């Protein structure tokens, strides 16, 4: 597996990482723990050195899973996790919105270290911007945690270009994580130019459009209530039908390249910048191998221009999130 560098402070990881959220949370019921540990081991064996989790996934159970799975590989892989939400004191499985107070950050880090079985978190993201806490204070708290040896690198998730600049002035930001794919390209407006200027890496989550760009979700797809996508405007029957045009585009190019639509979508991301590291999630070995195959797929300049032209015509329908969730992003 090829390696890529995130930021300027020495964080080198596999060109494609593994998003672990879906193993425990959001995409239907939690998956079998032993099977997911086996999948994580298979990822390491195939060269993956970058794993993404968060305390809110589960909550807490995904960090525990990742900690157990990667314990044999300590020092060989980089683990990213996130703080930024406040647990509900009445219901363990619920959260009370964002909270990036210094006390909450320190509390989150201590819990994550324990669950992940680590002495130092490789990459610590603020999960969502907290409008009540100046980002300079957040960066200062993480800076102190780095001094203490509890964190190596600081990251932001779904933050605006302005917020990134302010944080970076206090504590260098190693990576910014935001949704980015052929069907969500907003980071191209301000975020990507800003982080290129500052020397910050970029980690696209949902690089396959929450599974849609794999070509396996048809217009008549149904989602269980435990599946996060059941409440997303982009996954209504009307939107799914309208958005098939983008999948057909990927399928046509994939056929020419003897690849899959998912591989084309990931290869397109990798071709954008050398400091972009997507983290597709999966719970299946075959999908893991398919996704990792994108790292060796070469898209020519002509291929990329064709994708751009066709993507411009395939106007994506449906909002990314319901309004109340979109308001929690800092974009």
Task: Give the tens place of pLDDT for each residue, 290-300.
Answer: 999 999 999 99
Q: Is the pLDDT of residue 330 over 70?
A: no
User: Residues 57, 125, 180, 321: which is the catalytic one?
Assistant: 57
Q: What percent of the chain has pLDDT over 90?
A: 80
Three-state DSSP class for residue 207: coil
Q: Is the pLDDT of residue 255 over 80?
A: yes
Quote the Cα angle for 158-39-289, to 5°: 80
Nearest partner of 4 among 167, 169, 200, 173, judged by Cα: 200
Is residue 298 packed enough to be buried (19+ CB in 10 Å), middle (13-18) or exposed (0-12)?
exposed
Task: Count other Cβ atoms within 10 Å, centred on residue 320.
Answer: 19
Extents of the domains making up the chain? 3-215+270-297
Whether the Cβ atoms of residue 250 and residue 215 lie closer than 8 Å to each other: yes
Nearest partner of 128 among 107, 98, 151, judged by Cα: 98
Q: Which of these CATH numbers, 3.40.190.10, 1.20.1070.10, 3.20.20.100, 2.40.30.10, describes 3-215+270-297? A: 3.20.20.100
Task: Give the tens place of pLDDT for each residue, 40-52.
Answer: 999 999 999 999 9
| 27 has catalytic annotation | no
Task: Give the tens place of pLDDT for each residue, 177-209.
Answer: 999 999 899 999 999 999 999 999 999 999 999
Q: Is the pLDDT of residue 278 over 60?
A: yes
Q: Is the pLDDT of residue 28 over 90?
A: no
Q: Report how far apart, in Å, the C-alpha atoms of 58 and of each of 30, 32, 75, 103, 166 are.
A: 8, 14, 25, 22, 31
Q: Which of 12-16, 94-98, 122-126, 316-320 has the least mean pLDDT? A: 94-98
Task: Enter the pTM of the model.
Answer: 0.95
Collect all residues with Cβ–Cβ distance below 8 Å to 277 and sequence separation of at least 6: 4, 6, 13, 14, 15, 16, 17, 50, 175, 201, 202, 203, 204
């Amino acid at each position: 597996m090829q390696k890529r560098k995130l930021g300027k402070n020495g964080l080198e990881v596999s060109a494609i990482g593994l998003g672990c959220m879906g193993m425990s949370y959001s995409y239907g019921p939690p998956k079998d723990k032993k099977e997911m540990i086996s999948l994580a081991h298979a990822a390491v064996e195939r060269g993956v050195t970058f794993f993404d989790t968060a305390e809110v996934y589960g909550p807490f159970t995904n960090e525990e899973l990742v900690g157990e799975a990667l314990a044999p590989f300590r020092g060989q892989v980089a683990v990213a996790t996130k703080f930024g939400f406040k647990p509900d004191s009445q219901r363990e499985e619920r959260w009370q919105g964002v909270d990036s107070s210094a006390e909450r950050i320190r509390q989150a880090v201590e819990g994550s270290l324990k669950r992940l079985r680590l002495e130092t978190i490789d990459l610590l993201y603020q999960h969502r911007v907290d409008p009540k806490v100046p980002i300079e204070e957040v960066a200062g708290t993480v800076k102190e945690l780095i001094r203490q040896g509890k964190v190596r690198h600081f990251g932001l998730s779904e933050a605006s270009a302005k917020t990134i600049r302010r944080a970076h002035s206090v504590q260098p930001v190693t990576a910014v994580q935001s949704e980015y794919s052929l069907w969500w390209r907003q980071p191209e407006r301000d975020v990507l130019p800003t982080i290129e200027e500052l020397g910050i890496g970029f980690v696209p989550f949902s690089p396959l459009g929450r599974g849609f760009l794999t070509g396996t979700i048809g217009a008549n797809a149904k989602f269980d209530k435990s599946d996060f996508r059941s409440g997303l405007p982009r996954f209504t029957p009307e939107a799914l039908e309208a958005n098939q045009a983008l999948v057909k585009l990927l399928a046509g190019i994939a056929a020419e390249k003897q690849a899959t639509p998912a591989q084309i979508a990931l290869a397109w991301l990798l071709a954008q910048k050398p400091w972009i590291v997507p983290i597709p999630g999966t719970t299946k070995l075959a999908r893991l191998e398919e996704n990792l195959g994108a790292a060796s797929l070469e898209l020519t300049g002509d291929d990329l221009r064709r994708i751009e032209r066709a993507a411009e015509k395939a106007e994506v329908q449906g909002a990314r999130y319901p309004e109340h969730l979109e308001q929690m992003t800092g974009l």
